[in-house]
Structure 1
Amino acid sequence: MLKKQKRYEQVAAAVAERIRSGDYPPGFKLPGTRSLAGRFGVSISTVVEAQRLLERWGLVVARPRSGYYVRLPGAEATGLDRSDGHSEVSLQPSADSGAVVTGVLQCTPRVATTRRLILELVQATHRQDLIPLGAAVQDSRYIPVDALNRALRRVTKLQGGNVWSYEFAPGNPVIRERIAERMQLAGVKAHRDDIVLTHGCHDAMLLALHSVCQPGDIVAVESPTYYGLLQVLETLQLKVLEIPVHPGRGLQADALALAIQQWPIKACIWVSNFSNPLGILPSVQSKREIVQLLAENNIPLIENDVYGELGFLEERPPAAKKFDRQGGVFYCASFSKSLAPGARLGWIVPGKSRDAVQYGQFASSVATPSIPQYAFAELLQSGDFDRHLRRVRSAYYDRVMRASGILQRYFPATTRISDPAGGFVLWLTLPDKLNAMKLYQRALKEGISFAPGPLFSTAESFQSCLRINCAVGDDDALKWALISLARLLPELDEKTHA
């Protein structure tokens, strides 16, 4: 018996048909919510559900304070190239109505070895002769310097010598209280005593991995994945099992279930909101399913939510930790992307492993810097942090859209460009198997750096892919850099086919 379509599904299907027929062409702004409600004779909430469904189907994109637009051809995919040496996953539902998924995950655990190029990319952020599109580090113009200075003056006046004293683990109770309050926006009920402060999100992930893994253990990650995470795993002598992501929905429970069947996975690391480099926002259902799957198999989830505050929409998406019922999710985050990277202030909510993580933090670094803790607590309390977020979300959205428009205009028509839901990076797949590493070497000579695709995998995948940081330089500098990259492609193409 067929399941009857819900009203919002009927509305979404009708709009989808208009898109497929060409009545609503790429780039077309959909009629407003009230207009659609009147046209279909439904409530506004029904239209909102239909719009979200169209977005999940990958047919439309939302633009803050503007509306929904039909997705442009250049943004139809996230830029994943499955023929580019990347792992494939073959899912074959069993006959009993798909209750069990079987298949073969064609990937093998590997050791990451990427340190030389990673250091080169990071160091490029300080070179005056380069436009650093490589490292995902925001330009200083996106740091609220005036607000931070006000907070510093206030806390040094009120706290005196306290700001120069040790803050032993778990860290300053005031900032932990403010962090606990903010985590409620992500659906996580945490007490300040559940939180351990760290030297950024990297440190938080290191502490989590130290508490659950031994050298040689296998850790599952989404692929492509942030190269800094591969660096962490390399440091701990852990093997990386790359799980292919869905081009629009990110890491999927079915693919992860196959990996669990075939390999003794000791932990899973997941950027749960606006993944780096793809910028994907997984559905709430995906988060719930993945947390449940890992809990059923007694596999810890190390959640990296460093981009969670940087969505292009006003609503803060939930963390995967929200669905943790057994204390098996290590929630890791920091203020590096949302506020000030140089402060190196992060935190971890380690669940049932709290005591081990807290001692590990003390043993590895004794204490975390005191001044940023006092200053950030003041910034969160005053409301300056929220005001900063409203400004910077809009600014990042504008830069990403501006960069995407330049790329669509100047790069070959078959270039695939990601359509992130947050953050400030774009992921590209070049046409005709053009080699991103060769383009990188040519670009350096022109004063431009970017992150080549092979950095985001241990299997030398994504040879034709690259990631660019949109939050650097002014508009003119960003445009010049992207156009310059486009002008290098014909020369690269000639050498490739020579």
Structure 2
Amino acid sequence: MNLRGERQADFAYQAVYRYMINLINEVSLETPVRLPSLRQLSTRLSVSISTIQYAYSLLEKEGRVYSVAKSGYFAWPVAGNPLLASTGDLLERLYAAARRPRMVVLSGDEPALLATLDGTLLMLERQLIRRYPRHLQPWSQPCGVWELRAALAARYTSSPSRCWQADEVYVGADLQGVLEILIDVLGLKGTTLLVESPCDWLILRLLQAAGVRVVELPWQADGRLDLKTFERLLRDEPVHVVLLSSVVSLPSGVALSMPERLQVAHLLDQHGCWLLENDTFGELVFGPRLPALRNLVNPERLIVFSSFEKTLGAEAPFGYVLSRHLSSELQRQFLLRSFRLSSIRQRAIARLYQSGRFDQHLRTVRHRLQEQAEVMSQRLDARLEGHVSYRMPAAGASFWLQSLALVDMRQVFQRMVAQQVVIAPGELFSLGGLHQQHVRVSHAFNGHPNLDVALDALADALLQSQVN
């Protein structure tokens, strides 16, 4: 099978994705099944290893496959009711439920679902292939192509004293790979890291797997950060690195006020802490943007990480890092990882930035997200009044709901799966057992016919799962 001639309107990884879906459906899934390696599929399908990696990354994100270090990729079992019992890893059960057919998946936060640049990227790639024939493309650029690194450096530059250069930007295969490098470069294993909570489960699981001691700083119910507790933790705990969002913290959907931002920056400087800034959703704020935290802190103790996935979707899975320091170690780690990234796709993304198309796309995404959030808010008020409280999100594609009554949220999750609806219980966004009464639900879909039915089912599940 040669994918190069298949559906010219597709990216190669999309054809690989469809092939893998068919392959997974063909095998017996009573137990986990080992899938072909990246190199085996690259040879079989006559595409690059990076293209296979992109497809596997998408399948892993959807919960269809999982990876085991030094063993490869495996397909989750789906026969009967696997991983959906009331015991076991909740995240695994969520992934398994989300991949079942005819499920209404309300557990995600995928803003790019509302707008796509697939066609534009494909057109740019075709133009670039004519300009850069395959034999002229560099075999390996472990930190990313210069054009994309320069475009990112320019975008993050805000003043002469807050400027970035291309050689201070590092592009990796995906956000997970970039975060794993940062954990190594910063020497976080065995150290204490202060993290805002709730926090993305990918970040939390990576930190946990690396042996990092995570201290969680919860956002308060009024949407504020407890700065007194923040100061106490910086004073009493051996914290050298703090992980905070650049503008809006998700899934809580709240943002620091300007005075709070200045106080956070002052405390970080006072205690000599590094800021590890999560800018994953920094471009997706609905209203007027506050200054990013990175523009207020000491730039000598700052590392920023993000990805293109939330703004451009699965066709742009690359993650990236900006750092003025640790350059030799970052270069070494990126070289050791040997990311085989498509130079053409990176250049196509760079052109989106340079031409202004990315900004136009962002305006469209933000507008649609805000519209969807307002419609979802009306539905929540109509269907869940008296059951949950929430704050209107300031960015992203989801709502952070809190049950008004004491409930067993795992039981709510089980009841919803039985109704073919997948939600994300709040405990997934904490390593310390926080947010047991919260749930994340998505609003990034267009006129879903079963949404009102799903919300009615959620109201009933919350009622039936109350703890006396």
TM-score by length of 1: 0.71
CA contact (8 A) 1:406 1:479 kept: yes
- 2:349 is equivalent to residue 376 of structure 1: yes
CA contact (8 A) 1:404 1:417 kept: no
Which residue in the other structure is 1:468 paired with? 441
CA contact (8 A) 1:412 1:431 kept: no
Which residue in the other structure is 2:303 paired with? 330
Which residue in the other structure is 2:271 paired with? 297
User: What amino acid is the match of 1:380?
Assistant: Y
CA contact (8 A) 1:221 1:269 kept: yes
- 2:253 is equivalent to residue 284 of structure 1: no
Which residue in the other structure is 2:132 paired with? 159
Q: 1:425 aligns with which of 392, 398, 411?
A: 398
Which residue in the other structure is 1:203 paired with? 177
User: How far 1:291 sits from its partner (Å)?
Assistant: 3.0
Which residue in the other structure is 2:463 paired with? 490
Which residue in the other structure is 1:14 paired with? none
Deviations 1:385-436 (A, max 9, x none): 1111111101111111211211111114252112211111111111220222
Shift of the 376–242 alpha-carbon distance from structure 1 to 2, 3 Å rule, reads: same
Which residue in the other structure is 2:214 paired with? 240
Which residue in the other structure is 1:306 paired with? 280
User: How far 1:355 sits from its partner (Å)?
Assistant: 2.2
User: What amino acid is the match of 1:267?
Assistant: V
User: What amino acid is the match of 2:293?
Assistant: A
- For the residues of structure 2 that align with 1:115 and 1:322, how far apart are their CA atoms? 42
| Structure 2: stretches of 5+ with no match in the other structure | 1-86
Which residue in the other structure is 1:450 paired with? 423
User: What amino acid is the match of 1:178?
Assistant: A
Which residue in the other structure is 1:341 paired with? 314
- 2:407 is equivalent to residue 434 of structure 1: yes
CA contact (8 A) 2:162 2:299 kept: no
| SS of equivalent to 1:433 | coil
Which residue in the other structure is 1:229 paired with? 203
Which residue in the other structure is 1:358 paired with? 331
Which residue in the other structure is 1:408 paired with? 381
User: How far 1:467 sits from its partner (Å)?
Assistant: 0.6
Deviations 1:290-343 (A, max 9, x none): 233223323221100110110112x44422221233521111111111112342
- For the residues of structure 2 that align with 1:283 and 1:209, how far apart are their CA atoms? 29
Deviations 1:52-99 (A, max 9, x none): xxxxxxxxxxxxxxxxxxxxxxxxxxxxxxxxxxxxxxxxxxxxxxxx
CA contact (8 A) 2:113 2:444 kept: no
| Structure 1: stretches of 5+ with no match in the other structure | 1-113
- For the residues of structure 1 that align with 2:236 and 2:447, how far apart are their CA atoms? 48
- For the residues of structure 2 that align with 1:137 and 1:329, how far apart are their CA atoms? 27
Deviations 1:147-190 (A, max 9, x none): 22222222222222169644423211111111122213699421
Which residue in the other structure is 2:115 paired with? 142
CA contact (8 A) 2:111 2:365 kept: no
Which residue in the other structure is 2:84 paired with? none
- For the residues of structure 2 that align with 1:399 and 1:115, how far apart are their CA atoms? 34
CA contact (8 A) 1:278 1:420 kept: yes
CA contact (8 A) 1:121 1:135 kept: no
User: What amino acid is the match of 1:491?
Assistant: Q
User: What amino acid is the match of 1:170?
Assistant: C
User: How far 1:232 sits from its partner (Å)?
Assistant: 1.4
- For the residues of structure 2 that align with 1:281 and 1:261, how far apart are their CA atoms? 24
Deviations 1:459-485 (A, max 9, x none): 222222101121145343433322332
Shift of the 399–226 alpha-carbon distance from structure 1 to 2, 3 Å rule, reads: same
Which residue in the other structure is 2:168 paired with? 194
- For the residues of structure 2 that align with 1:141 and 1:412, how far apart are their CA atoms? 27
Runs of 4+ in 1 over 6 A off after TM superposition: none
- 2:212 is equivalent to residue 212 of structure 1: no
Shift of the 326–274 alpha-carbon distance from structure 1 to 2, 3 Å rule, reads: closer
CA contact (8 A) 1:197 1:348 kept: yes
Shift of the 446–455 alpha-carbon distance from structure 1 to 2, 3 Å rule, reads: same
Shift of the 351–429 alpha-carbon distance from structure 1 to 2, 3 Å rule, reads: same
| SS of equivalent to 2:463 | helix
Shift of the 456–362 alpha-carbon distance from structure 1 to 2, 3 Å rule, reads: same
- For the residues of structure 2 that align with 1:417 and 1:218, how far apart are their CA atoms? 31
Which residue in the other structure is 1:264 paired with? 238
- For the residues of structure 2 that align with 1:294 and 1:316, how far apart are their CA atoms? 22
* Percent identity of paired positions between Structure 1 and Structure 2: 24
- 2:106 is equivalent to residue 133 of structure 1: yes
Shift of the 456–363 alpha-carbon distance from structure 1 to 2, 3 Å rule, reads: same
- For the residues of structure 2 that align with 1:148 and 1:389, how far apart are their CA atoms? 15
CA contact (8 A) 2:112 2:309 kept: no
CA contact (8 A) 1:345 1:372 kept: no
User: What amino acid is the match of 2:286?
Assistant: F
TM-score by length of 2: 0.75
| SS of equivalent to 2:326 | helix
Shift of the 358–117 alpha-carbon distance from structure 1 to 2, 3 Å rule, reads: farther
Q: CA RMSD in A?
A: 2.6
- For the residues of structure 1 that align with 2:125 and 2:95, how far apart are their CA atoms? 28
CA contact (8 A) 2:112 2:313 kept: no
| SS of equivalent to 2:311 | coil
